[in-house]
């Protein structure tokens, strides 16, 4: 289906400026005999937020997992801060400064919030500083460390997931549908935290289905359809929202 993508779109997507925080070049991946991501080229500049939009089953999560090395790369290349990712383990990626806020089964529901956070730092030594940072973003967690993570509300869980990903001061953050099922006031809180982090120099690739949230947050967007990028551009373009909604319509 590569021919469905216009040359202009392909060229726009492939602009990978030198020193990109994340650069994907013709990335392909999938599970078993099924090909999910079919040649995606995309870049995120330092301090930039790129929104990756698309409906369910279009390959957004698989693309994130491919960047993280959780799904095998079958073609193309991925570089982070100019460093090519061959077979780096997730542990090495964390050390490189890559944070991840997953969507599916993102928390150990039966463990306490503290234990959930302990598992995200390389050793308990790092925990106090990481917690300070977390409470800076989400103070409500301070008094609830002993509580089981599964007892938090949906929105609170999302804050814990985002806070956990930010604890170790990542340089690149991959976020999977952080606004899903979250009430508007909490979405706004998430947005403010993310924008503050962006202004601090953090680069982000934000997978979303919530168009208004994604376009209000990101600098650029790309639309993924059946494993390929079918549209991309600046979120400031006057027709951006109309184009994205058009792509997401059935």
Partner 1 sequence: MLLTLDILTTAAILFIVSIGLLAIFGVLKIINFAHGAWLTVGAYCAVVTAKLGLNPWLALPLAFLVGAVLGGIAEHFIIRPLYRRPLDAILATWGLGIVVGQLVTLGLGRDVQLTPNLYAGTVAFLGVDYSAYRLVALGIALVIGTMFALAIERTRLGLSARAVIMNETLARSLGIDTGRVRLVVFMIGAGLAALAGVLLTPLTSVDPNMGVAWLIGAFMLVMVADASYLALAAACLVFGAAQVLISTFVSPILGSIAIAVLAALVLRISPKGFSRA
**246 interacts with partner 1 by CB under 8 A:** no
Question: How many Å separate Cα 39 from the centre of its chain?
Answer: 19
The label of the residue with tokens 């925990």 reads 127
Residue 100 lies near partner 1 (rule: CB under 8 A)? yes
Whole-number Å distance between alpha carbons of 215 and 228: 20
Nearest distance from C-beta of residue 126 to partner 1, angstroms: 11
Taking CB under 8 A as the rule, does residue 87 contact partner 1? no
What single DSSP character describes residue 149?
G
| Cβ 196 vs Cβ 170: under 8 Å | no
Q: Yes or no: say if 68 and 90 are a contact pair by the CB < 8 Å rule.
A: yes
* Binders of partner 1 in range 3-62 (CB under 8 A): none
The minimum distance between CB 78 and partner 1, in angstroms, equals 16
Binding of partner 1 at residue 110 (CB under 8 A)?
Answer: yes
126 alpha carbon, distance to own chain's centre: 23
**Which member of 39, 54, 59, 102 binds partner 1 (CB under 8 A)?**
102
Q: Pick from 26, 35, 74, 115: which binds partner 1 (CB under 8 A)?
A: 115
Choose one: 46-54, 72-80, 105-113, 228-236; the region binding partner 1 (CB under 8 A): 105-113
Pick the piece of the chain touching partner 1 (CB under 8 A) from 112-120, 131-139, 223-231, 241-249.
Answer: 112-120
CB atoms within 10 A of CB 201: 11
| Nearer to partner 1 (CB atom), residue 3 or residue 124 | 124
**Nearest to partner 1 of 110, 246 (CB atom):** 110
Q: Report the residue from 91, 195, 196, 242 that binds partner 1 according to the rule CB under 8 A.
A: 91
Question: Measured from the CB of residue 168, what is the shortest distance to partner 1 in angstroms?
Answer: 9
CB 116 within 8 A of CB 123: no
Instruction: Indicate the SS3 state at residue 174.
Output: strand
Residue 151 tokens, joined:
């007892």
Task: Please give the size of the binding site for partner 1, defined by CB under 8 A.
Answer: 23
Smallest distance, partner 1 to C-beta of residue 97, A: 11
Interface pattern 118-157 for partner 1 (x via CB under 8 A): xxx-xxx---------------------------------
Question: If phi over 0 gives left and psi between -120 and 50 gives alpha, with beta otherwise, what is residue 234?
Answer: beta
**In angstroms, rounded to a whole number, what is the distance separating the alpha carbons of residues 134 and 139?**
8
Residue 58: how many other CB atoms lie within 10 Å = 24
Q: How many Cβ atoms from other residues are within 10 Å of residue 151's Cβ?
A: 12
Point out which residues bind partner 1 (CB under 8 A).
Answer: 68, 70, 89-91, 93-95, 100, 102, 105-108, 110-111, 115, 118-120, 122-124
């Amino acid at each position: 289906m590569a021919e469905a993508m216009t040359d202009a779109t392909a060229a726009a997507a492939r602009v990978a400026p030198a020193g990109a925080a994340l650069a994907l070049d013709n990335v392909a991946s999938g599970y078993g005999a099924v090909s999910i991501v079919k040649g995606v080229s995309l870049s995120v500049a330092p301090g930039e937020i790129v929104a990756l939009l698309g409906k369910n089953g279009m390959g957004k999560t698989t693309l994130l997992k491919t960047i993280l090395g959780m799904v095998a790369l079958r073609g193309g290349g991925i570089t982070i801060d100019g460093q090519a990712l061959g077979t780096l383990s997730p542990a090495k990626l964390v050390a490189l400064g890559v944070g991840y806020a997953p969507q599916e089964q993102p928390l150990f529901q039966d463990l306490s919030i503290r234990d959930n956070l302990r598992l995200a730092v390389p050793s308990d030594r790092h925990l106090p500083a990481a917690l300070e940072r977390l409470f800076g973003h989400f103070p409500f967690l301070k008094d609830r460390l002993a509580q089981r993570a599964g007892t938090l509300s949906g929105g609170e869980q999302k804050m814990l997931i985002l806070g956990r990903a930010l604890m170790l001061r990542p340089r690149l953050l991959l976020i999977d549908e952080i606004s899903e099922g979250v009430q508007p006031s909490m979405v706004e809180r998430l947005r403010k935290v993310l924008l503050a982090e962006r202004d601090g120099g953090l680069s982000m690739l934000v997978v979303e289905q919530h168009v208004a949230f994604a376009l209000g947050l990101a600098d650029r967007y790309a639309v993924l359809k059946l494993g390929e990028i079918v549209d991309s551009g600046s979120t400031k373009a006057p027709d951006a929202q109309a184009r994205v909604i058009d792509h997401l319509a059935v």
